[in-house]
Amino acid sequence: MRATSVSPQPARRGSPRVPLTPERRGADLERLARGSSLNLAGSFVSALLNLLLPVVITRSLTRGAAGTFFEAITLFTILINVGALGADTGLLRAIPRARALDRQAELRPVLRAALVPPAVASVAISVLLVLLGPHLTRLAVGPAADQQKTFLLFLYVLAAALPIATVYTIAVTATRGFGPVKPLVYVEKIGRTAAQTAFVALCQWLAPSALLLVLAWSVPYACAGIVIAGWLQRLLLKGVRPSAAVAPPPRPYREVSREFWSFARPRAVSRILSVGLQRVDILLVGAIRGPADAAVYLAATRFLILGLMFVQAIQQVMAPKISEMLTLGQRERAIVMYQTTTAWLTLVSWPLYLTFAVFAAPLLRVFGGSYQRGSMVVVILCLVMLVSTFCGPVDTVLLMGGRSSLSLINTGLALAVNIGLDLVLIPRYGINGAALGWMAAILVNNLLPLWEIHRFLDMHPFGAAARRASVTALACYVPIPLLVRWLLGDTVVGICAATVLSTVIYGAVMLAQRQVLDLDALIAVGRRSRAGLEPGAAVKLPRGRHRAPSRASRRRSRH
């Protein structure tokens, strides 16, 4: 039976539906490339800093103490998403919709509806965290008295920082809804992360103590929150004037709030489950096997997070654009953007995951010699992330299509699979069992929404560009690194030689296939940046680029 498409919202006045011409397609991809380029650069810096921070901690603390700190931070991250109540994702959909439907007057009511309940909820969670702190401590770190005392101190400090971090997280997402990625990149990905790494390193160097360590990690949330509040206020004041001749009258606050939370409420639970899916393994490993094993497991998963940084960089730019296109009923444009995003994600992330899988053991030495036993965790998770990346930002597409309830069901099933397998496998196989449980959950959380967006939105990510990128990555980053590793061993020279050789060949092949991979938009953005031109300005292309499109390009345009 043919899949049914999403019911489009009425197109705004003055914006009739137009066919997806090559010019419109190119403009959409250039918008995606313009935001993704800056976001990728910020993600690269953030990824390095997020790898450096655990290195500083594991090199300066024992495995038990490092595991205690990582468990406290993991719990804190989960509670931020509990307190946010799904408002961050709600804003990512509500702000572009309000602007697309010429309802700019509703932006402030939407922000008010999104910020007040999470602020109250996060304060309540902080109070509960203080009251239940001793019980949580015994569950998290076991009977060791010194580790219990340290973990409890971490919880008390983080409880004070929780409301600030929750509101800050929602405000950052609100700036994304307006379109610009600079607040996300400069403040969140670079500013806050760099401040955390620098403060923690300085603390460990000058006066190592548990209190100073957790304060050094928490204070940057307040500093970044002040900056992002000013940036968000400027975006609100600047605004975008309605394009319609007569803008629709603003609706009452209660109606705006009701509409916002009707979408965000299911997403609140889904977001909690999603973060639990990413973090619960660390808490379970710590509770079952102890903080030392939790430290090894977290160190091994850092390489997975490193790859996810690049995935999120493009996904964060795509989400509000997909929301706007589906709101206006322009499904063809949304399909093109989804498939191109998937191709670019595959292009960037597959080389990283394949390299991490081949050189897992030597790369873990950066955390210390005892952390190499987490190499199988790296291999398992990097291989399953190849599947996840090839599905593209499937959950984001499902959410922006208005199917937040389905996303909730998917994430709940995935988390249930994860916890169930962890409870069975961790006691027997340790951190490798935790990796297997997470692998199964990642598959569930990608394959289910993949079927759902095909069934309900009539969309899929499997374009020619994604297939070409995946095959080329496998050909360049599997046989060449394995051969170099066999010749030079697990040495720094071997890792560097394999990476450079594979990347040179990969880059040459990708450049030769840039039309199939839709890389012309990225190249054009880079050329404008070097020339100092404004976005959208005309750029003189190399000779021959104005000729008729290739057979593959014509075939994609017809579809």
Two structure tokens written together for 266: 């299911």
> Of 26-40, 120-134, 165-179, 453-467, which range is least confident?
26-40
pLDDT of amino acid 239: 58
pLDDT of residue 39: 65
How confident is the model over 103-123, as a mean pLDDT?
A: 85
pLDDT at residue number 120: 93
Task: Calculate what percentage of the chain has a pLDDT beyond 90.
Answer: 16
- pLDDT (0 to 100) of residue 174: 85
Name the helix (H) or strand (E) containing 331.
Answer: helix 331-358
Note whether residue 389 is domain-resident: yes
HEC per residue, 45-102: HHHHHHHHHHHHHHHHCCHHHHHHHHHHHHHHHHHHHHHHCCHHHHHHHHHHHHHHCC
Evaluate if residue 262 carries a pLDDT over 70.
Answer: yes
pLDDT(549) > 50? no
Percent of the chain with pLDDT over 70: 78
Answer whether 442's CB lies under 8 Å from 388's CB. yes
CA distance 270 to 283: 19
Least confident of 34-43, 104-113, 337-346, 417-426: 34-43
Instruction: Report whether 203 contacts 217 (CB < 8 A).
Output: no
DSSP 402: T
Among the listed residues 339, 372, 406, 297, the one whose alpha carbon sits nearest the alpha carbon of residue 70: 297
* pLDDT tens digits for range 183-208: 888 888 888 989 998 998 888 787 77
Q: Is residue 248 part of a domain?
A: no
User: In the numeric block, which tokens belong to residue 46?
Assistant: 């953030």
Specify whether the CB–CB gap between 21 and 553 falls below 8 A.
Answer: no
Enter the pTM of the model.
0.69
* Residue 513's pLDDT band (cuts 50, 70, 90): confident
- Does 542 reside within a domain? no
Residue 268 resides in a domain: yes
CA dihedral 535, 538, 542, 546 (to 10 degrees): 120
Q: Is the dihedral of CA 330, 332, 337, 339 positive or negative?
A: positive
556 in a structural domain: no
Is residue 21's pLDDT more than 70? no
Cα(23)–Cα(35) distance, integer angstroms = 19
Q: Does residue 457 belong to any structural domain of this protein?
A: yes
Sequence length of the chain is 559
Does the pLDDT value for residue 310 go beyond 80?
no
Tell me, what's the pLDDT at 97?
A: 76
Cβ burial 469-484 (10 Å sphere, 16+ → b, else e): bbebbeebbeebbeeb
Domain count, the chain: 1
Report DSSP state, residue 294: H
DSSP, res 186: I
Q: Mean pLDDT: which of 122-126, 150-154, 337-341 is highest?
A: 122-126
pLDDT exceeds 50 at position 144: yes
pLDDT computed for residue 493 by the predictor = 85
Q: With helix as H, strand as E and coil as C, how does 466-535 read?
A: HHHHHHHHHHHHCHHHHHHHHHHCCCHHHHHHHHHHHHHHHHHHHHHCCCCCCCHHHHHHHHHHHHCCCC
Q: Which of 22-31, 106-115, 524-533 has the highest mean pLDDT?
A: 106-115
CA 295 to chain centre: 22
In this predicted structure, the answer to whether residue 527 has a pLDDT above a threshold of 80 is no
* DSSP summary character for residue 518: T
In a domain, 554, yes or no: no
Domain that holds residue 514: 22-240+253-534
- Are 162 and 83 in contact by the 8 Å Cβ rule? The answer is yes
Contact (CB, 8 A) for 354 and 506 = no
Q: Which of the residue ranges 7-16, 39-48, 71-80, 91-100 would you say has the lowest mean pLDDT?
A: 7-16
pLDDT in tens, 380-411: 999 999 998 888 888 878 877 777 678 888 88
Tokens of 462: 């499997």
Are 469 and 483 in contact by the 8 Å Cβ rule? The answer is: no
Residue 366 counted as domain residue: yes
Confidence band (pLDDT; 50, 70, 90) for 89?
A: confident
| Burial degree of 223 (CB within 10 A; 0-12, 13-18, 19+) | middle
